């Protein structure tokens, strides 16, 4: 049985991953080739922030211990998970697109093939301005996120890069091109 790819969207905070994913999702409405996944996060749902399922940490850890996540990780004092139910979506033929930490890419490549990686990035001044504008982090948190942005991103033949430093339309166009290319490359393997 052929399994559709898991497409991991990674990149530094402020690169615009959620904006590009939301724009792509709107443009692909009704296209069953792609399914945009909701992560589970131990953060309350905030108006204007990413769409996610919110859980208290204790409940998150219970689900995690029971094998309820394909991938899970910790970052910025929060726990994040990708629900195992998404594997059925892949078996039904839809590529699952999900925003994850670059720290889980190698694990996903080893356990959840086929996998594609879509790196979304932007120049440091753009990242800094976007982080400040969203108003969720303190200045020291922004500094930490900007330092982390300089860490290496995944590389390899399963990676496509989108530099999101222009208009939202241009960013979504580039994101969709990378997404389609990764889905087609996974089918060819």
pLDDT computed for residue 155 by the predictor: 94
Return the minimum-mean-pLDDT range out of 28-32, 86-90, 96-100.
28-32
Question: Does residue 49 carry a pLDDT above 70?
Answer: no
What is the b/e burial string over 94-133, where b = at least 16 CB atoms within 10 angstroms of the residue's CB? bbbbbbbebebbeebbeebebbbbbbbbbeeebbbebbee
pLDDT digits (tens, 9 = 90+) for 165-184: 999 999 999 999 999 999 98
**Distant-in-sequence, close-in-space partners of 157: CB < 8 Å, separation ≥ 6:** 185
pLDDT digits (tens, 9 = 90+) for 100-119: 999 999 999 999 999 999 99
pLDDT computed for residue 145 by the predictor: 81
Tell me the average pLDDT across 60-78.
Answer: 93
Question: Does residue 52 carry a pLDDT above 80?
Answer: no
Question: Does residue 22 carry a pLDDT above 60?
Answer: yes
Report the distance separating Cα 86 and Cα 91, nearest Å: 9
Q: How confident is the model at residue 47 (pLDDT cuts 50, 70, 90)?
A: very low
Tell me the average pLDDT across 22-47.
Answer: 87
Q: How confident is the model at residue 149 (pLDDT cuts 50, 70, 90)?
A: confident
Question: Does residue 188 carry a pLDDT above 60?
Answer: no
Share the mean pLDDT of the chain.
89
Q: How confident is the model at residue 125 (pLDDT cuts 50, 70, 90)?
A: confident
Enter the tokens of residue 25: 């999702």
């Amino acid at each position: 049985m052929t399994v559709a790819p898991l497409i991991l969207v990674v990149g530094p905070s402020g690169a615009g991953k959620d904006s590009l994913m939301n724009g792509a999702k709107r443009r692909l409405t009704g296209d069953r080739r792609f399914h945009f996944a909701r992560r589970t996060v131990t953060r309350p749902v905030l108006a204007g922030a990413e769409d996610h399922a919110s859980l208290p940490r204790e409940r998150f850890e219970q689900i995690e211990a029971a094998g309820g996540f394909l991938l899970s990780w910790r970052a910025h004092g929060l726990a994040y998970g990708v629900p195992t139910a998404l594997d059925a979506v892949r078996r039904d033929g839809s590529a699952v697109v999900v925003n994850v930490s670059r720290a889980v890419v190698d694990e996903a490549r080893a356990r959840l093939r086929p996998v594609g990686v879509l790196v979304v990035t932007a120049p440091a001044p753009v990242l800094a301005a976007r982080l400040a504008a969203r108003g969720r982090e303190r200045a020291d948190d922004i500094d930490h996120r900007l330092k982390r942005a300089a860490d290496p991103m995944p590389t390899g033949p399963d990676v496509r890069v989108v530099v999101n430093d222009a208009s939202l339309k241009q960013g979504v166009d580039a994101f969709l091109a990378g997404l389609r290319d990764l889905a087609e490359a996974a089918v060819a393997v």
